[in-house]
Amino acid sequence: MSDIRFDNRVAIVTGAGGGLGRQHALELARRGARVVINDLGGSMDGTGGNSAAAEAVVAEIEAMGGQAIANGSSVADDAGVKKMIDDTLAAFGRIDIIIANAGILRDKSFSKMTQQDVDLVVDVHLLGTFKPFMAAWDIMKEQGYGRLVVTTSSTGLYGNFGQGNYGAAKLGVVGLMNTLKIEGAKYDIKVNAVCPIAATRMTEGLMPQQTLDQLKPEYVTPGVINLVKEDAPSGMILSAGAGAFSMAQIVETRGAFVGQGEALTAEAVAAKWDEITDTTTQTHFESGAGHGGNIFGRLQEAAQKA
């Protein structure tokens, strides 16, 4: 199998001053990419900021003979995102890859969560993915190439106590991916999601040290590299951690036609609940049209039996 290379490609990695983002950026640089190290340099809750972390990663890349620049923009700020894109084009002339990795936490149980806790987390995770992608979208369309990665979470896919804000944002980026994979297809823009389990500043204190030792950020990055390579998939959710990888999907049961008009009651739905929820036949749809097709398929079957 040939080496995966990124020669002549330009990548932006957000939140790349440490943790997962740093590992993604270093590996892209090792494989030939020119990299923009975006990091606001703030604390875990999103406050403060300085460029020291981003500049340190740039120094690491330059020491290995690679090319990189630092950018201290907030991914949730329109002017900051514009500067990030402008800095990238000024330095390298194109944008091929964006890995949206920047994140903060404001964990609280739902009854204790404030509106600010919601706004800040949604701004960084959801809008902080949306805005850079939107700013680079037409550039990628015009050049006929793009690779985008959103960073989702098991909290978004499956839930976790005290993370209603984070989970909502993290499932939101999957919704963005699902549409962009369709809109970008004819321009060779591929969009995927990584669902990482890693020991980073955001997970310290949540797991025992023995477990954290198995969850090195660099054990996630090889999977991410496969999401941004030339022959990458599109629309995939790749779970990654401790050197193990799996694919997550949203699936739907075959379902059942219950009835229409007076025959359609809550009790009639209850009577067919076992058939509606039968998981022996489940499908992953490539677009919303597949979801509608499944529903109308049951309607058509009922009409044929009538």
We report the CATH number of the domain holding residue 242 as 3.40.50.720
Residues 85 and 225 in one domain: yes
Dihedral through CA 282, CA 288, CA 291, CA 297, nearest 10?
A: -130
The answer as to whether 4 is a domain residue is: no
Sign of the alpha-carbon torsion through 225, 226, 231, 233: negative
Say whether pLDDT at 205 is over 70: no
C-beta atoms surrounding 108 within 10 Å: 15
Is residue 77, in this structure, part of any structural domain at all?
yes
User: Is there a single domain that holds both residue 45 and residue 140?
Assistant: yes
Angle, CA of 108, 105 and 76, to the nearest 5°: 125
pLDDT given at position 159: 95
224-256 pLDDT, tens digit each? 999 999 999 999 999 999 999 999 999 999 999
Q: Is residue 123 one of the residues assigned to a domain?
A: yes
70 CA to centre of own chain: 22
Classify the phi-psi angles of 243: left when phi > 0, otherwise alpha if psi is within -120 to 50, otherwise beta: left
Q: What is the mean pLDDT of residues 206-223?
A: 85
Same domain, 207 and 270: no
Strand intervals (E) in 54-181: 68-71, 97-100, 146-151
Q: How far apart are CA 156 and CA 127, in angstroms?
A: 15
What is the end-to-end Cα distance of the chain in Å, rounded? 56
Cβ-count burial of 129 within 10 angstroms (0-12 exposed, 13-18 middle, 19+ buried)? buried
Q: Got the DSSP string for 160-184?
A: -TTBHHHHHHHHHHHHHHHHHHHHT
Domain encompassing residue 294: 252-305
pLDDT digits (tens, 9 = 90+) for 265-277: 999 999 999 999 9
Instruction: Categorize the per-residue pLDDT at 113 as very low, low, confident or very high, splitting at 50, 70 and 90.
Output: very high
Calculate ∠ Cα 87-91-94, nearest 5°: 85
Helix (DSSP H) and strand (DSSP E) numbers for the chain? 12, 10
Residue 211 CA to residue 198 CA, distance in Å, equals 10
Query: Of residues 145, 158, 166, 219, which has the active-site annotation?
Result: 166
Could you confirm whether 166 is annotated as catalytic? yes
Task: State the greatest distance between any 2 C-alpha atoms of the chain, in Å, as a whole number.
Answer: 74
Q: Do 289 and 242 lie in a common domain? A: no
Asked, for residue 60, whether it belongs to a domain, the answer is yes
Sorting pLDDT into bands at 50, 70 and 90, what band is 222? Answer: very high
Q: Give me the mean pLDDT over the 25-53 stretch.
A: 83
User: Is 50 in the same domain as 168?
Assistant: yes
Poorest-confidence range of 17-21, 29-33, 41-45, 283-287? 41-45
Q: Which pLDDT value is given to residue 44? A: 54
Higher pLDDT, residue 51 or 175: 175
